[in-house]
Amino acid sequence: MGIQATRIYRFDASGCNGCDIEVLEILALVPVAELGVEIVETPKEANVLLVTGGSNLKSKGELESAYAAIQEPRLVIAVGSCGATMGIFKGGYAMTGPIDAIVPVDLYIMGCPPRPQVILGALADALQLKVEGLETLLHTPQGFRGDPHVDQGKCIGCGACANVCPADAIEIVESGTERLVRFMRKDCIFCASCQEVCPTEAVELHAGDKAWFRKKDASMSEARLQRRPCLVCGTPFLPDAQMNWAMNRAEEKLELGTGDRSKLQRSLNICMQCRRNSIGEVREAKSLLASLASRASGSGARS
Amino acid sequence: MSGCERAGGAAWEVGYVVPSQSDAKVIVYEPQLCTGCRYCEVACAVWHCGRIDVAQSRIRILFDEARTAERYSAVNCQHCDDPICCAVCPPEALHKDEKTGWVMQNSSKCVGCEMCIVACPLSVPFFDAALNVAVKCDFCFGAPECVKHCSSGALRVVAREDAVRFNERLFLSAKEEQ
């Protein structure tokens, strides 16, 4: 065992009690006493602080003193999304969290609330406990969702997922000629909105459910995309893959002549700013649209 | 200020008549007549958002002093016959209204992938950060404000066939002469 005689002190930092109930559920999963873990009644006896909730004005001081009271080496485990982000309480007038703003957190267990299996898995990982059959317990039950994974090959970097994500868990980072789509572990609520809207079905919520991590800004999955430089101003604007996708889709659904196709291809190489701000480009675009319109009406007149 | 609500209310509230197929109309823009007053932009923004914020205008007038010919231009929706924006829209939030010929958007279906903004050669739709969706010209449900407020007559509502001829003359034939 990593830590001699693990003694856990549970601290409810103004949570909704959802996580507390899930922590209790562990008792139904495994014989906790046999694992060499003890739940203690006062922080003085403990060396592990298991915190639920996101901390508010009333619990902040208590949490600080509980942390000061536990024995070294102090191990703080934040259970539930509140620990990392304050979860559903984010922005509340009385909130003083997240937990890591008050005491250093060693392990975050995500979920609102996390499944007891996940909490057990995280505890086993952090405290080096041997739990039999943990792998099967960790597998998400059928019909439930696990972590989102983005397929680098399929992702076109359009950002629809980031736009619809209710928890703001998807970051779009523009760095130089690259666009990075990052699925942040700490914010994800596993709602599958990203999977729902993805035009290329690049996002999938896997059955895997290893929802604990040590670094707060860890990402579950990310896609790296090359951005296309603008033909006119030269600055990289949107991902190559997105432009190609738009072009393929347009070719698929519309009847484009060779001239129109090359014109459309050209316009896809120009950034929105240049397209909208230069009279020359507007003229090019309008002539393309005019030729498409006259083709459509012309063929109608002839038939 | 967040959100962008139409000042005049919905089409049925303001009493616009939705035309039938036979008289499908389009907006045309004649650069030679434009004076660059940008009243159309203001009118558009006021009707769609209830405030004078030309960044919210669905039409955009360009003026370039450096040019000798064609110093004015407009970025306005052509309400294409075969719209590229509709073709590329993944959730099919954009559609060509069969009856009226307008390219309309269902904002509640829009996921904000910006594909229409990317694909439209004119980049007519733009992303409304407050609403988290792309927005575009909706023809004001039949009585375009930009046309109403265009004092010089550069913006006009004409029948679709006439618009096709007009744009052919303006953009296709002139190009060949050059």
The whole-number pLDDT of residue B169 equals: 87
CA distance B116 to B94: 9
- List residues of B whose CB lies inside 8 A of any A CB: 60, 62, 64, 67, 70-75, 78, 80-82, 84, 87-88, 90-91, 111-115, 117-119, 121-123, 126, 132, 160-161, 163-164, 167-168, 170-172, 175
Which residue in chain B is spatially nearest to A242 when comparing CA positions? B115
- Domain A6-138 and domain A148-207+216-227, same fold? Reply is no
List, for residues B89-113, the tens digit of each pLDDT value: 999 999 998 888 889 999 999 999 9
The whole-number pLDDT of residue A31 equals: 83
CA distance A90 to A108: 17
Judged by CB atoms closer than 8 Å, whether chains meet at A246 and B88 is answered as: yes
**A and B: number of Cβ contacts within 8 A:** 131
Domain layout of chain B by residue ranges = 23-76+137-178, 80-136
- B80-136: what CATH class? alpha beta
How big is the CA angle at A52 (ends A9 and A85), to the nearest 5 degrees? Answer: 140
The whole-number pLDDT of residue A3 equals: 46
Judged by CB atoms closer than 8 Å, whether chains meet at A293 and B88 is answered as: no
- Domain B23-76+137-178 and domain B80-136, same fold? Reply is yes
The whole-number pLDDT of residue A242 equals: 93
The whole-number pLDDT of residue A4 equals: 61
Averaged over successive runs of 10 residues, the pLDDT of chain A (303 residues) comes to 72 91 88 83 92 92 93 90 86 89 91 87 87 79 81 92 90 91 85 91 80 82 91 91 93 87 92 90 90 73 36
- Highest mean predicted confidence (pLDDT) among A240-244, B156-160, B166-170: A240-244
CB-based contact A186:A80 (threshold 8 Å): no
A148-207+216-227 folds as Alpha-Beta Plaits (3.30.70)
- Look at residue B12 and tell me whether its pLDDT is greater than 50: no
What average pLDDT score do residues B26-45 get? 92
What residues have CB less than 8 Å from A237, skipping those under 6 apart? A227, A228, A229, A230, A271, A272
Judged by CB atoms closer than 8 Å, whether chains meet at A282 and B62 is answered as: yes
The whole-number pLDDT of residue A266 equals: 92
How do strand B25-29 and strand A236-239 relate by DSSP bridges? unpaired
- List residues of A whose CB lies inside 8 A of any B CB: 158-160, 163-164, 197, 199, 238, 242-243, 245-246, 249-250, 252-255, 263-264, 267-268, 272, 275-279, 282-294, 296-297
What is the total residue count of chain A? 303
The whole-number pLDDT of residue A298 equals: 66
pTM > 0.80: yes or no: no
Q: CA dist A90 to A53, A82, A113, B84, B150, Å?
A: 11, 8, 15, 41, 48
- B23-76+137-178: what CATH class? alpha beta
List, for residues B127-136, the tens digit of each pLDDT value: 998 888 999 9
- Tell me the shortest Cα–Cα distance from A238 to chain B, in angstroms: 9
The whole-number pLDDT of residue B170 equals: 87
Measured between beta carbons, the chain A residues lying within 8 angstroms of B123 are: 272, 275-276, 285
CB-based contact B93:B72 (threshold 8 Å): no
Domain layout of chain A by residue ranges = 6-138, 148-207+216-227, 228-302
Architecture of domain A6-138: 3-Layer(aba) Sandwich (3.40)
- Tell me the shortest Cα–Cα distance from A176 to chain B, in angstroms: 20
List, for residues B52-95, the tens digit of each pLDDT value: 998 999 999 999 888 887 889 999 999 988 899 999 999 999 99
The whole-number pLDDT of residue B174 equals: 56
The whole-number pLDDT of residue A209 equals: 67
CA distance A134 to A113: 19
The whole-number pLDDT of residue A214 equals: 87
- Look at residue B9 and tell me whether its pLDDT is greater than 60: no
Q: DSSP of A65-79, one letter per residue?
A: HHHHHSPSSPEEEEE
- Tell me the shortest Cα–Cα distance from A211 to chain B, in angstroms: 27
